[in-house]
Amino acid sequence: MLWNYIYLLVAIMFEVVATTALKETQGFTRLMPSLVSVAGYAFAFYFLSLPLRSMPVGVVYAIWCGAGIILITAIGWLWFRQALDAPALIGMGLIMAGVMVINLFSKTLVH
């Protein structure tokens, strides 16, 4: 089970790198960010497929999306200086709470 979470963490990291690079592609008109984005998504989907061998797809996807949303939002705020208002922060908190509830209390994690 630990390896499933390691693979999922690696998938999340690749997805975050790919999405961050996607902003810099300017519609896939810049080569390097475009290559980073495409490669990052390819690796992200590969590593995402590994925990799906023994974990429910809905749970894996919820964790992947929730963590990705939080990390991308943090990068947008820190790196791209994108503003976050109170509703955005509350929404992020609810997403984090949802991911924590799944991980701490869900019995569907083991297949």
- Per-residue pLDDT of 43-92, as tens digits, reads 999 999 999 999 989 889 989 999 999 999 999 999 989 898 999 899 98
Sign of CA pseudo-dihedral 26, 27, 28, 34: positive
What is the total residue count of the chain? 111
Tokens representing 25 are 């592609």
Is pLDDT at 19 greater than 80 in this prediction?
A: yes
CA angle at residue 98 from 95 to 103, to 5 degrees? 130
Half-sphere exposure of 10 (CA within 13 A, CB side): 15
pLDDT of residue 110: 54
Helix (H) or strand (E) holding 108: none
Tokens representing 78 are 């820190």
Closest to 34 (Cα-Cα) out of 56, 58, 18: 18
Closest to 75 (Cα-Cα) out of 14, 7, 17: 17
